[in-house]
Amino acid sequence: MDKDAPLIAEIVHKSLPFTVHDVKWVPGTTRFVVLGCPPRGTGVLHVYDLDGVELQLVAQTTQPHALRCGSFGTSAPAGGSQIAVGNLAGQLQMLDVERLDAGPLFTSGSPVGPVIATCGKDGGVRVWDPRAPEAPAAAFLPAGAPKQANGTAAASAAPTASDCWCVALGNCYNLERCVLAGYESGDLKMFDLAAARVRWETNVGKGVCGVQFDRRDIAMNKFVASCLDSQLCLYDARTEHPTRGFAGRVDAARGAGQDATLWGVHHLPQNRDVFMVRGGDGSLALHKYQYPDQRAVKEPDGEVVGVVGSSQLVCNSVISSQPVSAFDWHSGKAGVFVAAAYDQTVRVGMASRVNAL
């Protein structure tokens, strides 16, 4: 074994009395938020502070419905404390982790401010502006699903619509924005928010559990999707062919996670070519994207087609006997992460030597 190779190591862990669905670092701090639900089905939000090798509970609140996911994407890059949370009742709320006793809130933003993308079991993808939470700013619903006044699909509409399992915002620069959406059916779609249309779509053959651009606030470069049956899909987003779309490849996971569902993919904030994949077998697998010799080639008809790269497994580690339900990189400390699994345990760890990749 190469003694200088990166390793995944645990720093501290804490057992919790509820199921954890998501974890997120509070930007620019040593605190993180844990979202989940106890056996009675209500929602729980805990805020922990990493104090040396101890985790201190510094704030908590409960909600009527189980909390499924959260994002600090609408907060400032450093020091923002407003988290958007989604619950299992299909509701979107914004909470301030510094003032949890104030209850849900929505605040104003700049004219080209952040937006929030959500998806659901009705197959719909919706984009919300925190300044106008009464209805989505954009809604992409399954064919045949009539839109109600609040932008939702009627309960009886499109009974065969596939669940939408994951969404990711990207290409968010100037006035440009795109949303990637992954579906239970294996569909992977890119929606253009400016044009309000489907820009690109494909089917990867397996249900798409997670998808992410390597960076969301730049012109899109590449994105990765993680799927059922250990399937990992890589796409080059620099070049879009008029008929073939984006160049992509489908790989099978290697090492830990090779026989499991890949629940999500998370790019390292300090290096967009490094990403972590969390597995249904309790594993974390660190990958490095390898660019091709040429990013694009011109075909005989004059059209330019993209060329996708490949992924290299750097290291992996099994951190739990249960699926890894949540993961988040620290935006300021390269390699530091918080993760949670369905063993009701939250872990803070580190992927070493990521700066050398």
> Would you say 115 and 127 are in contact if contact means Cβ atoms under 8 Å apart?
yes
- Which of 321 and 149 is assigned the larger pLDDT? 321
In this prediction the pTM is 0.90
pLDDT at 275 over 80: yes
Could you tell me if 269 and 215 are in contact, meaning their C-beta atoms sit under 8 angstroms apart? no
Measured on CA atoms in the order 253, 259, 264, 267, is the torsion positive or negative?
A: negative
- 311-353 pLDDT per residue, tens: 999 999 999 999 999 999 999 999 999 999 999 999 999 999 9
pLDDT at 102: 67
Q: Could you tell me which of 107, 95, 101 has the C-alpha nearest to residue 71?
A: 95
**Per-residue pLDDT, 231:** 95
User: Each residue of 33-46: pLDDT tens digit?
Assistant: 999 999 999 999 99
Query: Residue 148 has what pLDDT?
Result: 53
Q: Which residue has the higher pLDDT, 228 or 148?
A: 228
Higher pLDDT, 159 or 230: 230
What's the whole-number average pLDDT of the chain? 88
pLDDT of residue 73: 80
State residue 77's pLDDT score.
54
Tokens read off for 193: 């928010």
Range of lowest pLDDT (121-130, 140-149, 202-211, 273-282): 140-149
From the list 44, 202, 208, the residue with the least C-alpha distance to 119 is: 208
Domains of the chain, start order = 1-107+344-357 (2.130.10.10), 110-145+160-318 (2.130.10.10)
Instruction: Give how far Cα 180 sits from Cα of 140, 170, 238, 242, Å.
Output: 11, 8, 15, 18
- Answer yes or no: is pLDDT of 149 > 90: no
Which pLDDT does position 155 carry in this prediction?
42
- Cβ atoms 277, 233 nearer than 8 A: no
Q: In this predicted structure, what is the pLDDT of residue 253?
A: 76
328 vs 131, which has greater pLDDT? 328
Query: Residue 347 half-sphere exposure, CB side, CA atoms within 13 Å?
Result: 24
Question: Please, what is the Cα angle at 330 between 327 and 332, to 5 degrees?
Answer: 170
